[in-house]
């Protein structure tokens, strides 16, 4: 019994030392940065948790497209929508002056495309027009809020769509999440507690194909590491302030285990490069911790 007790103490000391090293590394990354950085890391199989500023309500920007896509797929699960449902794209929903690979593909509009294509462009390519098309199908942001509330998701609020945020810089602050909420909702998603297995597998596949933000969470991870992710970014306002530079993800480790990570950089006067490098470095630190 004494040997078992000693072994437990030694293991505990080792784990604490590793966590302390992670804390020190992350502190060194964000030290002296003129920004609020919310961080949450959650090990799925071992229950590991690391949080820093993880209870702060920070603007999500396009990270909220994960929550919107989940709400759409909930409607699909309920039979209220179908991924084959055709949507007419025209000048009324392919707005100019916004990020929209969908508009770039269908420049002339007047074409019907399936909801699946809208969803995939919205999540994997962060299409703003696709986002607002899906919100309109749902009846507005209230539907997304009610869905997340029904699943016990705390620290999350959605009030405005992409068009609203483009009109008013301050609107983004009403679309917030805590970093802890982001990792917790990703764990619910992974565990099949948000959607059916079919919809979970589908959305996971879409997130694995995300092409935006390659200089953030995945930048320093080994090539071909499976990372199901959603990015978000506000850009800078005229005063040089970045409202949000964000990313959330489910990462698969070489041993087949998983962790969720959320990094929200908010109200930053640092350059875009510095903001993204912080996310990249924090991601690498978390990866190193799990692969120690």
What are the catalytic residues? 62, 162
Q: Which residues have CB under 8 Å from 239's CB, separation 6+?
A: none
Within 10 A of 265 (CB to CB), how many other CB atoms are there? Answer: 28
> What token pair was written down for 162?
């992409």
Contact 266, 35 (CB under 8 A): yes
CA separation, residue 121 to residues 71, 100, 139, 143, 275 (Å): 16, 9, 20, 21, 25
Q: Report d(CA 77, CA 89) in Å as an integer.
A: 24
> What token pair was written down for 216?
């953030």
**Where are the strands (E) in the chain, listed by range?**
36-43, 49-52, 58-59, 86-89, 111-114, 156-157, 176-177, 227-233, 242-252, 258-268
């Amino acid at each position: 019994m004494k040997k078992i007790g000693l072994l437990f103490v030694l293991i505990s000391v080792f784990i604490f030392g590793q966590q302390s090293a992670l804390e020190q590394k992350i502190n060194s990354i964000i030290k002296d940065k003129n920004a609020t950085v919310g961080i949450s890391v959650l090990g799925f199989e071992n229950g590991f948790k690391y949080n820093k500023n993880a209870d702060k309500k920070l603007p999500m920007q396009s990270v909220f497209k994960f929550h919107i896509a989940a709400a759409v797929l909930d409607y699909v699960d309920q039979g209220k929508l179908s991924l084959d449902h055709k949507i007419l794209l025209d000048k009324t929903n392919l707005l100019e002056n916004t990020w929209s690979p969908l508009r770039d593909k269908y420049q002339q509009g007047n074409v019907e495309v399936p909801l699946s294509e809208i969803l995939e462009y919205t999540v994997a390519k962060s299409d703003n027009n696709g986002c607002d098309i899906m919100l309109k199908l749902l009846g507005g942001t209230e539907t997304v809020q009610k869905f997340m509330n029904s699943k016990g998701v705390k620290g999350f609020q959605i009030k405005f769509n992409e068009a609203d945020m483009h009109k008013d810089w301050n609107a983004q602050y009403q679309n917030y999440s805590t970093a802890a909420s982001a990792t917790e909702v990703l764990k619910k998603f992974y565990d099949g507690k948000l959607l059916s297995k079919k919809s979970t597998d589908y959305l996971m596949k879409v997130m694995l194909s995300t092409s935006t933000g390659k200089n953030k969470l995945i930048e320093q991870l080994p090539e071909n590491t499976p990372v199901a992710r959603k990015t978000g970014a506000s850009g800078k306002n005229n005063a040089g302030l970045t409202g949000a530079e964000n990313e959330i993800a489910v990462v698969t480790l070489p041993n087949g285990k998983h962790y969720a990570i959320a990094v929200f950089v908010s109200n930053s006067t640092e350059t875009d490069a510095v903001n993204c490098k912080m996310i990249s470095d924090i991601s690498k630190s978390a990866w190193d911790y799990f692969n120690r």
